[in-house]
Amino acid sequence: MMRLFTLLVWLCLVFAASTVHSAGTLTDNRIISSFALEYDLQYRVYLPEGYETLENLPVIYITDGQWYIGGGDMPAKIDEEILEGRIEPVIAVFIDNRDPHNLRDNRRNYQFFCNKDYVRFFGEELIPEIDGDFKTHADRESRVILGLSFGGLNSACFGVYAYPIFAGIAMQSPALHPVRNLYDMYSQAGKLPIKIFLSSGSVNDNTQANRRWHKHLKEIGYDVEYREIRQGHNWKNWRPLLDDVLQTYFSVQN
């Protein structure tokens, strides 16, 4: 009798899970050989549920993509936001910062410090491949780039160097100090046609530096979506704000 009861409970849970939540799909790693960077990279692509019937989808490009998949569980968060009707269906491209042939070789310090070759890789190689292989809305207004820490710095760099191809830059806890002229770069460029999301933890997360960065962007004229959370430089900070990032750019009200 107890076994029958247990089986019935399990079947109810399986049925509930299958009826309440249906997920998108995440591709296996895809290799791309970059002429701009002179090495191979890998990435994975999230496709929303019902992708086969959809057209002209916006795309969010995510650096440190393997961390956003693992520590951030971002595909599940995108599923949830779409399912609850808070955002429109979106494609997500998770770019791995590591050498695909030697995962111990982390290239983020080389790639993320306003590296113009990395910008070229996106503009001339990665984006054309994604637009060619998937049903994207292939214009800058439908593209966002997201990163954390040095990846957040990379998003800031793309705000100046890659605004012709990205309309949205999202920075989680950006570590800006390796590019000392970033403030001057933004001041000299003036207000560009980009939509900015910026977040920071308030505990050991370069908080004062990110508050100054927020103030500087506002002085230039940007209307920044700013979030500050009482956490440190970790996923307890970044993961709870992923819905804010997604709703900033892909809200059904936008």
pLDDT for 10: 39
Q: Can you list the domains of the chain with their CATH numbers?
A: 23-250 (3.40.50.1820)
Distances in Å between the Cα of 160 and the Cα atoms of 86, 119, 173, 200 are 29, 10, 18, 21
Structure tokens belonging to residue 38? 């002179």
Residue 99's CB: how many other CB atoms inside 10 A? Answer: 15
| Residue 97 burial (10 A CB sphere; 0-12, 13-18, 19+) | buried
Judged by phi (left if over 0) then psi (alpha if -120 to 50, else beta), residue 52 lies in: alpha
Give the contacts of 13 (CB within 8 A, at least 6 positions apart): none
Q: CA nearest 176: which of 194, 193, 160, 195?
A: 160
Q: How far is residue 163's CA from residue 176's CA, in Å, rounded to a whole number?
A: 18
pLDDT for 123: 98
Only one residue has tokens 């900070």, namely 237
pLDDT for 22: 55
Would you write out the chain's pLDDT as a tens digit for each of its 254 residues?
A: 444 443 343 334 333 333 334 589 999 999 999 999 999 999 999 999 999 999 999 999 999 999 999 999 999 999 999 999 999 999 999 999 999 999 999 999 999 999 999 999 999 999 999 999 999 999 999 999 999 999 999 999 999 999 999 999 999 999 999 999 999 999 999 999 999 999 999 999 989 999 999 999 999 999 999 999 999 999 999 999 999 999 999 999 75
pLDDT for 40: 98
- The SS3 of residue 67 is helix
Residue 29 DSSP label: P
Give the contacts of 212 (CB within 8 A, at least 6 positions apart): none
Yes or no: say if 22 and 47 are a contact pair by the CB < 8 Å rule: no
Helix locations, the chain, DSSP H? 2-20, 65-70, 74-83, 108-111, 116-120, 127-133, 150-161, 182-189, 207-220, 235-238, 242-250
Residue 62's CB: how many other CB atoms inside 10 A? Answer: 27
| Residue 28 burial (10 A CB sphere; 0-12, 13-18, 19+) | exposed
pLDDT for 2: 41
